[in-house]
Structure 1
Amino acid sequence: MRIAVLDDDRLQLELMERVAHEMGHTCSLHTTGQSFQQELRRETFDMLVVDWVLPDTSGPEVIQWARTNLEHAPPILFITHRSEESDIVEGLQCGADDFMVKPLRLAELKARIHALLRRAYPLCTDDVQRFGPYTFTRSALTVGFEGQEVLLTHREFALAMLLFQNAGRLMSRDHLRESVWGQNPDVLSRSLDTHVSRLRQVLQLRPGNHYSIAAVYGLGYRLDAHEN
């Protein structure tokens, strides 16, 4: 999972980065609301962590912006030194999904991150998953639809599953590459394009069918569902 963190305290950022990596997630760190919002305009994340007091804006303003401007805003954890009940209420009312008071306790922080991600992205370990007319079988790396059965490579299968599980959600190119190929700097952008092109062809993911893959210029890809 990809987590974006906004906090002007470098020590807190280092703490969040260490916790995220220990949990197997990647972390993007920001000290100003401006840089945070700029990245959210071009990148996609599975979770946001936002501090209240910032040098150029405030946490509530950033969260309200995210809820208003992001098509599919991820779960948001609010962190702050403020501990009054009114502060907690304000933080949740502005759009945060959870609230933690500094100093952060590591075990609790990990538990809250895990809980937010689990609720937002339920983990399915079933060998067979169905999305409309498409049947995915993990053990066989096959996708069945309309009487056909297509055998995919491991990466093709992982990419297809990621797109179907996030249907309707724009996924940035880096998000897709990190999720399927991992933190590999040698993976070229055209490798992703080649895999998407093959999935579009072999699974018939085109307009007029049940699902289609849309390329969003300069950002990434989105799987759209259609009523047929």
Structure 2
Amino acid sequence: MRIAVLDHDRSEAELICQVLTAAGHLCHSFDSGRDLLAQLRKEGYDLLILDWQVNDLTGVEFVRRAKEKLPATTPIIFLTGSSGEDDIVAGLGAGANDYLIKPLRRGEIVARVQALLRRAYPSQAGAEQLTFGQYVFETRTGRLLMNGVVVEVTHKEFYLALLFFRNIGRPLSRAYIHEAVWIRETAVPSRTMDTHVSRVRNKLQLRPENGFRLVPVYSYGYRFEKLGA
């Protein structure tokens, strides 16, 4: 799942991202509320974690503006240095779904995040088999089926295809795709990504006549569309 962490303390944001990355999520850190809001106009996230005392925006203002850009089901966790009832009531009243009190504990971060993701995305969070119409992704084995027939794909093709299906209608930047699929590979030529996208399109028959369209977004990345949706 894609998670954004907003904290004016960059080292703390990066620590949270390390914990969540180790738990299998894709995590981006921000130290500016306005920067994260600007990013939400381009790409969505499955969950937000934010420090209630961000420098450039109040927690209430950030949650309100973020809710305007995200699906209603997107969970928000806020971080607070106080266990006082006023802060907690204010955060939950603004629309956040849960809270964590600093200093943070690694196990609690993962447990709270996993619980919210399961609640918000019951068909995906922690699932070993994800189904999108005629396509079935078996996440534990890396096997992909189309209309019940196994499609021969490489490891990267599997996760690239799954990334597109999990983000139907959302434009994904090249940088985002690179981080999600190639992860620790720092230098991936642009043509390598294009080749993998072309293979996924062909192997899964992602064509308009089959109800799908996988198209480049000029100077940005790719968008996967389900036609007629």
- Please name the residue that 1:223 is paired with: 224
2:225 alignment partner, SS class: strand
Structure 1 unmatched ranges of 5 or more: none
Matched with 2:187 is: 186
Structure 1 79/198 Cα, relative in aligned 2: closer, same or farther at 3 Å?
A: same
Code of the aligned partner of 1:57 = L
Tell me the residue number matched to 1:107. Answer: 107
TM-score (norm 1): 0.77
Pairing 1:125–2:128 present: yes
RMSD of aligned alpha carbons: 3.3
Does structure 1 retain, via aligned residues, the 8 Å contact 2:135–2:144? no
Deviation at 1:125, TM superposition (A): 1.6
Partner of 2:54: 54
Deviation at 1:191?
A: 2.0
Q: Which moved more, 1:174-183 or 1:48-57?
A: 174-183
Using the TM superposition, give the Cα deviation of residue 7 of structure 1 relative to its aligned residue in structure 2, in angstroms. 1.5
- How many residues align? The count is 225
Q: How many Å separate the matches in 2 of 1:73 and 1:218?
A: 30
CA shift, 1:150, in A, is 4.1
Identity %: 43
| Other structure's SS at 1:96 match | coil
Alpha-carbon offset, residue 190 of structure 1: 2.9
Cα shift readout 1:84-129 (whole Å, capped 9, x = no counterpart) = 4453343234332221222323332221123233443422224xx5
Q: Give the direction of change, closer, same or farther, for the CA distance of 1:212–1:123 in structure 2 (3 Å limit).
A: farther
Displacement of 1:79: 0.8
What is the CA–CA distance in structure 1 between the aligned matches of 2:149 and 2:9, rounded to whole Å? 54
Contact 2:48 2:76 in 1 (8 A): yes
1:156 deviates by 1.6
Question: Which runs of no fewer than 5 residues in structure 2 stay unpaired?
Answer: none
Q: Secondary structure at the match of 1:171?
A: strand
Which residue of the partner structure matches residue 78 of structure 1?
Answer: 78
**Mapped partners of 1:150, 1:26: distance in 2:** 26
Q: Aligned-pair distance for 1:52?
A: 1.3
- The question of whether the paired residues in 2 share the 8 Å contact of 1:167 and 1:224 is answered with yes
Structure 2: distance between partners of 1:136 and 1:15? 31
CA contact (8 A) 1:44 1:171 kept: no
1:172 aligns with 2:173: yes
Q: CA deviation at 1:195?
A: 1.7
Aligned amino acid, residue 195 of structure 1: H
- Gap change, CA 1:94 and 1:193, over 3 Å in 2: farther
* Equivalent AA in structure 2 for residue 153 of structure 1: T
User: In the alignment, is the contact (CA less than 8 A) between 1:167 and 1:225 conserved in 2?
Assistant: yes
Q: Distance in 2 between the 1:168 and 1:37 partners?
A: 19
Cα offset, 1:73, TM superposition: 7.6
CA shift for structure 1 position 193: 2.2
Question: Cα distance, 1:209 vs. partner?
Answer: 2.6
Equivalent position of 1:40 in the other structure: 40
1:103 and 1:63 map into 2 onto residues whose CA distance is 22
